[in-house]
């Protein structure tokens, strides 16, 4: 039985940062990860470029974390998105800010971020054990016993950073919730969040098209952000954010031009009345959308359109109907809503109120955020705060 001051289970962003913080504060630390490599899910974020954080204000962060973001006030007062940026820059990673405050490594490669975290863990002398799945955890006297298939480790402090239940192929299968239940902590219901939408729609015609800053709405819920047409329906931040308001069976509306009013569009069509419908539309929307909306009138001139057809075109541009048939399951959603009940957790230390020296960080907690770097910010910041707590107090 090998002893460590602190054991961290799960090598995603929360676990890697918890290990760094713990080792930085002098704790002899072991990080156990069941995959061959650390950060498998993190590697796939931001289209494989790693959306490492968001550079917004505290208000932006809280707005980006609709699932219990307010619980993180104390965490962010200790370590926030600006500390994440400073951390990577101090460790030689050049970052850049893209639209909507999303922060990426300048290399556009996730590897850069994961390697920097791994290098820091090694520099601080913590131990990384990959390819090792923790199968059970218990507390014997004052120490934790952490078991893999063929080893037992003991520690004074345990940090659980095993993630949620989305994309289980990346390793997040909900093991941390089992640990919480073992210690008689309540786990709230787990649901899909940030889910791609399934639509009853001519998918082939629009598949692969991405649109910047369009408005997708259902009833009073309006989201203006980027949208992606896929082979099954809709993805991209606008669809993912709307997913928390729809179940399937609703009609969503897509405004391709949220900054243009109907009157402006009428004037625009009037000014282009000698041009073909398709070419006129191409001045407003991407070519394949123009072809789709123009349909069999593509080569007609605007002046040849019946006023009703022109009206119809404008209403399509300002509110194309999209029937939603459902949304992706928890396993195929980007984020898990629900997790270890925050009533069980001290917000200053992320320690269990019932079990001393047992901490949780990252998506295993009942915190869910929008994509755009907000989940990763929550994971890295909660990881840091869980890591710095002393196992000897
Ligand atoms: C495709 C995709 C794109 C995303 N894009 C974004 C984005 O752009 N912005 C954003 O903010 N968020 C995004 N997210 C969400 C974000 O990646 C997660 O919220 C974040 O990775 C959670 O970090 P974590 O450290 O809590 O958990 P995870 O990253 O899930 O890491 C948990 C780790 O624990 C390990 N583990 C689990 N059980 C055991 C065990 N028994 N023994 C040992 N190890 C174990 C797992 O193998 C895993 O490596 C995206 C998610 C997906 C799936």
Read off the pLDDT of residues 241-289 as tens digits, 9 standing for 90 and up: 999 999 999 999 999 999 999 999 999 999 999 999 999 999 999 999 9
Where does a domain end: 327, 351, 370? 327
Is residue 83 domain-shared with residue 228, that is, in the same domain? no
pLDDT tens-digit readout, 178-201: 999 999 999 999 999 999 999 987
User: In this prediction, what percent of the chain has a pLDDT beyond 70?
Assistant: 100
Expressed in angstroms and rounded, the spacing between residue 362 Cα and the centre of ligand 1 is 8
In a domain? residue 369: yes
- For residue 372 and ligand 1, the question of a CB distance below 6 A is answered with yes
Q: Which residues contact 16 (CB under 8 A, 6 or more apart)?
A: 31, 38, 39, 114, 117, 118, 121, 383
Is residue 170 domain-shared with residue 270, that is, in the same domain? no
Give the pLDDT of residue 201: 78
- Separation CA 23–CA 34 (nearest Å): 21
Is residue 301 domain-shared with residue 372, that is, in the same domain? no
Is residue 52 domain-shared with residue 187, that is, in the same domain? yes
Is residue 103 domain-shared with residue 175, that is, in the same domain? yes
In a domain? residue 210: yes
pLDDT at 202 over 80: no
In a domain? residue 117: yes
Give the pLDDT of residue 182: 98
Is residue 132 domain-shared with residue 242, that is, in the same domain? no
What CATH number is associated with residue 113?
3.50.50.60
Identify the domain containing residue 86 by its residue range: 2-191+333-388
Is residue 280 domain-shared with residue 298, that is, in the same domain? yes
**Mean pLDDT along residues 46-74:** 97
Is residue 155 domain-shared with residue 40, that is, in the same domain? yes
What CATH number is associated with residue 269?
2.40.30.10
Give the pLDDT of residue 204: 83
Where does a domain end: 308, 327, 346? 327
pLDDT tens-digit readout, 305-334: 999 999 999 999 999 999 999 999 999 999
Cα–Cα distance list, 278 to 144, 201, 263, 270, 296 (Å): 67, 21, 20, 15, 10
Give the pLDDT of residue 393: 81
The CB-side HSE value for 194 (13 A sphere, CA atoms) comes to: 24
In a domain? residue 393: no
- Within 10 angstroms of residue 48's Cβ, the number of other Cβ atoms is 11
pLDDT-based confidence at 203, cuts 50/70/90?
A: confident
Is residue 148 domain-shared with residue 203, that is, in the same domain? no
Q: Which residues contact 158 (CB under 8 A, 6 or more apart)?
A: 6, 7, 9, 137, 144, 146, 357, 358, 359
Let me know: does 29 contact 127? Beta carbons within 8 Å: yes
In a domain? residue 296: yes
- Separation CA 83–CA 381 (nearest Å): 9
Looking at the structure of the chain, the number of domains it has is 2
- Within 10 angstroms of residue 138's Cβ, the number of other Cβ atoms is 12
- For residue 15 and ligand 1, the question of a CB distance below 6 A is answered with yes
- Separation CA 48–CA 39 (nearest Å): 12
pLDDT-based confidence at 298, cuts 50/70/90?
A: very high
- For residue 32 and ligand 1, the question of a CB distance below 6 A is answered with yes
Expressed in angstroms and rounded, the spacing between residue 41 Cα and the centre of ligand 1 is 5
Is residue 381 domain-shared with residue 248, that is, in the same domain? no
pLDDT tens-digit readout, 79-123: 999 999 999 999 999 999 999 999 999 999 999 999 999 999 999
Q: Which helix (DSSP H) or strand (DSSP E) does residue 251 occupy?
A: strand 251-255
Is residue 363 domain-shared with residue 239, that is, in the same domain? no
Where does a domain end: 280, 307, 327? 327
Is residue 131 domain-shared with residue 26, that is, in the same domain? yes
Report the residue among 30, 36, 41, 240 best suited for mutation to probe ligand 1: largest number of ligand atoms under 8 A from its CB. Answer: 41
In a domain? residue 226: yes
In a domain? residue 214: yes
**Mean pLDDT along residues 150-154:** 97
- Separation CA 316–CA 310 (nearest Å): 10
Give the pLDDT of residue 70: 97
In a domain? residue 133: yes
């Amino acid at each position: 039985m090998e002893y460590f001051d602190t054991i961290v289970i799960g090598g995603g962003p929360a676990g890697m940062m918890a290990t760094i913080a713990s080792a930085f504060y002098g704790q002899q630390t072991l990080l156990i990860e069941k995959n061959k490599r650390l950060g498998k899910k993190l590697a796939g974020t931001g289209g494989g470029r790693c959306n490492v954080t968001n550079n917004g204000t505290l208000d932006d962060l809280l707005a980006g974390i609709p699932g219990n973001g307010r619980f993180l006030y104390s965490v962010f007062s200790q370590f926030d998105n600006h500390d994440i940026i400073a951390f990577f820059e101090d460790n030689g990673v050049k970052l850049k800010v893209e639209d909507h405050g999303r922060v990426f490594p300048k290399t556009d490669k996730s590897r850069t971020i994961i390697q920097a975290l791994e290098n820091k863990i090694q520099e601080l002398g913590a131990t990384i054990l990959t390819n090792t799945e923790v199968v059970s955890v218990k507390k014997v006297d004052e120490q934790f016993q952490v078991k893999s298939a063929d080893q037992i480790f003991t520690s004074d402090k345990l940090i659980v950073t095993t993630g949620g239940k989305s994309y289980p192929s990346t390793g997040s299968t909900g093991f941390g919730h089992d640990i919480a239940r073992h210690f008689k902590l309540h786990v709230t219901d787990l649901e899909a969040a940030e889910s791609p939408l399934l639509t009853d729609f001519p998918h082939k015609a629009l598949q692969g098209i991405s649109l910047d800053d369009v408005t997708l709405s259902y009833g009073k819920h309006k989201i203006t952000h980027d949208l992606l047409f896929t082979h099954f329906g809709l993805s991209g931040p606008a669809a993912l954010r709307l997913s928390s308001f729809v179940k399937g069976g609703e009609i969503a509306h897509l405004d391709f031009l949220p900054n243009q009013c109907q009157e402006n569009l009428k004037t625009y069509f009037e000014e282009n009345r000698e041009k073909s419908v398709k070419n006129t539309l191409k001045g407003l929307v991407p070519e394949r959308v123009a072809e789709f909306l123009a349909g069999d009138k593509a080569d007609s001139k605007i002046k040849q359109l019946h006023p009703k057809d022109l009206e119809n075109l404008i209403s399509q541009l300002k509110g194309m109907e999209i029937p939603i048939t459902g949304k992706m399951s928890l396993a195929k959603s980007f984020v898990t809503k629900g997790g270890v009940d925050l009533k069980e957790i001290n917000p200053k230390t992320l320690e269990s109120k019932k079990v001393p020296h047992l901490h949780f960080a990252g998506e295993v907690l009942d915190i869910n955020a929008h994509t755009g770097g907000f989940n990763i910010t929550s994971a890295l910041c909660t990881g840091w705060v869980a890591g710095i707590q002393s196992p000897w107090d």
